[in-house]
Amino acid sequence: METIIQGSAKIRFSHPDDFRQWVREHKRREMVEKLTTERDAIARLVADGDYIAYDFSSLTRGPQALVREIIRQRRKDLWVCAEFTLHETALLVGGGAASRIDVGFLGYGSYVGRAVSEGRVRVFDWTNGALAARMLAGARGISCMPMRSMLGTDTLRHSGARVVRDPFTGDPLCLVPALNPDVFLLHVHQADVYGDARVFGTNLFAPEAAMAARKVILSAEVIVDPQEFRRDPARTTLPYFLVDAVVHLPFGAYPAGVQACYDLDLEHIDKLNAIQTEEQMQAYLAEYVYGVQDHAEFLDRKVGWRKLQDLVRRATIREGYH
């Protein structure tokens, strides 16, 4: 197949057979209890230099507690999949954790924008569709996925995509390379101790990313009985063998909301929105990340029961989230 255009971005790429070998050797098929603390999960499973992806965002069901723990443990040189991301990417940059970002959508990016302009972090442009397609390819054990978007644009030229001559149609066709993240972080409504999990509502690419990633860390609002999944198999988002660690973290998405559990905290989100300067970023991190030992202390000392109670009370929409 003739290559017409080659995008200039660096990519984190592995041969599908290498990924398959990892799955064969490291993803345990037997049911093992995986309940652990966020400190242990991040310490064991997230290494400097890892490529990480997460689902969903800092406003809706994002794995915010896990992200704060990554920053707290002073991880470095992470490569981040910024698919529809909001504040969490800025925090990872501010905490010195992220050095490279694949950009689908870098919302609230004026802080990150400056970090890019100053050369503190490298961005590679993609589209949301491209990153989702890359994840699907990673999950399908193939090297790439064809797409009919990105064509003709600077986005493509600065991405790691390639334009080839489609062997069936003869037209130019965009190929995006598969993505097999080192770590996928997912905050779920329900999980059991083995890692079976349910996500309600929509998601970015939860099943795909969980299949494509080498290591999967779940934080869960509620731990349920394993039989729950067998009673209603169509509602299982992830079977246990995809998952490496389960952390029971009620309010684990805070300040995001979780559908039918609690509302988002607009007051705290405004604090995040207000971060413009380096000083402000470090002040936020000092207070809300480094200044607490873990999620429990964060909720206790920085959020408080009254606020949590209010957020729970305001989560009145329950239709479809069960």
Partner 1 sequence: MGQTVEFTDTEFMICTAARLLEDRKTVFVGWGMPQLVAMLAERLYTPQLVQLFEFGAVGPQSLTPFVRGTMGGPTNVYRSLQWSNMNWAFSYAAAGYLDYGMIGAAQIDAYGNVNSTLLGGTYERPGRRFPGSGGGNEVASLCWRTILVMKHEPRRFVERLDFMTSPGYLDGPGGREKAGLPRDTGPWRVVTSKAVFGFDHETKRLMLLGVLKGLSGSGVLEGMEFRPPVVESVGEIGPPTEDELRVLRREIDPSGIIIRGERMQAAR
> Which residues contact partner 1 (rule: CB under 8 A)?
56-57, 59-61, 83-84, 86, 103-109, 112-114, 116-117, 119, 122-123, 125-129, 132-133, 136, 147-155, 158, 163, 166, 171-174, 201-208, 257, 259-260, 264, 266, 269, 315, 317, 319-321
Contact between 71 and 49 (Cβ < 8 Å): no
Contact between 77 and 92 (Cβ < 8 Å): no
Buried-exposed string 295-310: b where 16+ CB fall within 10 A, e elsewhere: beebbeeebeeebbee
In the complex with partner 1, the residue whose CB is nearer, 46 or 103, is 103
Contact between 178 and 161 (Cβ < 8 Å): no
**Least separation in angstroms between CB 169 and partner 1:** 9
**Least separation in angstroms between CB 53 and partner 1:** 12
Tokens 């079977």 — which residue? 239
**Least separation in angstroms between CB 153 and partner 1:** 5
**Least separation in angstroms between CB 171 and partner 1:** 5
In the complex with partner 1, the residue whose CB is nearer, 148 or 230, is 148
In the complex with partner 1, the residue whose CB is nearer, 11 or 46, is 11
Rg over CA atoms, the chain: 20
**Least separation in angstroms between CB 138 and partner 1:** 12
**Least separation in angstroms between CB 125 and partner 1:** 6
Q: Which amino acid is at 314?
A: R
**Least separation in angstroms between CB 228 and partner 1:** 20
Sign of CA dihedral 131, 72, 97, 182: negative
In the complex with partner 1, the residue whose CB is nearer, 43 or 260, is 260
* Structure-token pair, residue 241: 């063998």
Interacting residues of 171 by C-beta distance below 8 A, sequence separation 6+: 165
State the Cα–Cα distance between residues 248 and 90, nearest whole angstrom: 25
In the complex with partner 1, the residue whose CB is nearer, 54 or 56, is 56
In the complex with partner 1, the residue whose CB is nearer, 26 or 235, is 235
Sign of CA dihedral 25, 29, 33, 39: positive
In the complex with partner 1, the residue whose CB is nearer, 45 or 256, is 256
SS3 317: coil
Looking at the DSSP bridge assignments, the partners of residue 54 are: 185
Closest CA to 138 of 108, 177, 99: 177
